[in-house]
Amino acid sequence: MPVADLPDFPWDSLAGAKAKAAAHPGGIVDLSVGTPVDPTPAILQEALAGAADAPGYPQVWGTPDLREAVASWFARRRNAPGVDPNGVMPTIGSKELVAWLPTLLGVGPGDSVGFPQLAYPTYDVGARIAGATPEPAAGLLQYGPRAPKLLWLNTPANPHGQVLPVDHLAKVVAWARDRGVIVASDECYAELDWREDADGPTTPSILDERVTGGSHEGLLAVYSLSKQSNLAGYRAAFVAGDPKLVQQLVQVRKHAGMIVPWPVQRVIKAALGDDAHVAAQKQLYAAHRAQLRGALEQAGWRIDHSDAGLYLWATEGNSCRESVDRLATLGILAAPGDFYGTAGAQHVRIALTATDERIAAASKRLVS
């Protein structure tokens, strides 16, 4: 598709606010993008070093032991014991898969791609790259008799952290199967669940056996280790679900050379076999979340949803751009809610990813 048909890159519009925040005497506290800043766990650095001798080409599909590790992780952490290792494939981070999935699945002109009304912008971009029509919606009824060819879910959701419960996911799957719709669920924040009444170790997956009725037909779960394992720089992610759909992705990616490097594949396997580093990272984010949430609420902000994930979805009742500018005067950079759709026009997204010192600085500035 012509580059001119793509929207402007939203983060470019934050240049002014970033400059204002950087001018604060105490320095900027950048809580906008949500880039992990804590060290990559030693066990994963060791796995990378141990796989450094990699003279041959890696497998697009991933090695059998990697795919089995992903399936075992879904069974252990996501209540999805039925994941077939043949329906697993590593990806070069999750964003590239989100952007290219419609194209890889043969979605194109005349088709539409559905996604939440308040959503990560790459769902829209992926539809445009494929030549399909982006179709955000507040609910399934909005699609009427003409269903999209591909439907994106995002749970826990970016930007607002809402979690879709099992019964809701099951209704979406039934609706989609009645209409021949492929459902792709972006679940990369699943391990960061802050709900006190959670009924599992992570938020529910589209592949949860309570959701699927025992079949993964037409379903894909997309997952990233960037957040839970501080692996954003490794581009370590995977997709799992319907083996027929995954094989379609594998065949196209073989031709395109879209391959996760062998050392990164080894790191993914190591990360999925070690729950301890994930639990430790979650504790760090929980402390940041409690501190920031308390400061925001003391300063008169309201926090909506934010049940899981790396962000607080906050509003003071004003335009999101006004709120971003006001925070910038305090040296705090946040993401405006309109990045994610018009429904976010009065919210800002505030990340938990900063050092303890920067989180403390932001909290102090909010209440002083």
- For residues 122 and 100, give the distance between their C-alpha atoms in angstroms, rounded to a whole number: 10
Question: Nearest CA to 146 among 173, 110, 174, 120?
Answer: 110
- For residues 31 and 44, give the distance between their C-alpha atoms in angstroms, rounded to a whole number: 26
CA 333 to chain centre: 20
Query: pLDDT (tens digit, 9 = 90+) per residue, 19-41?
Result: 999 999 999 999 999 999 999 99
At the fourth CATH level, which superfamily is domain 3-39+277-367? Aspartate Aminotransferase, domain 1 (3.90.1150.10)
Q: Is CATH 3.40.640.10 the classification given to domain 53-274? A: yes
Query: pLDDT (tens digit, 9 = 90+) per residue, 288-346?
Result: 999 999 999 999 999 999 999 999 999 999 999 999 999 999 999 999 999 999 999 99
pLDDT band, very low/low/confident/very high, at 197 (cuts 50, 70, 90): confident
pLDDT band, very low/low/confident/very high, at 13 (cuts 50, 70, 90): confident
Residue 1: is its pLDDT beyond 80?
A: no
pLDDT band, very low/low/confident/very high, at 199 (cuts 50, 70, 90): confident
pLDDT > 90: what percent of the chain? 94
Give the helix/strand (H/E) hosting 228. Answer: helix 226-229
Q: What is the pTM of this model?
A: 0.95
* Over residues 11-18, mean pLDDT: 88
Average pLDDT, the chain: 96
- At 270 the pLDDT is 98
Angle at 12 between CA 317 and CA 101, to 5 degrees: 95
The domain ranges of the chain are: 3-39+277-367, 53-274
Q: Coil, strand or helix: which one is 313? A: strand
pLDDT > 70: what percent of the chain? 98
Neighbours of 357 (CB within 10 A): 9
Query: pLDDT (tens digit, 9 = 90+) per residue, 228-262?
Result: 999 999 999 999 999 999 999 999 999 999 999 99
* Over residues 113-127, mean pLDDT: 96
Residue 6: is its pLDDT beyond 80?
A: no
Residue 2: is its pLDDT beyond 90?
A: no
171 contacts: CB under 8 Å, gap ≥ 6? none
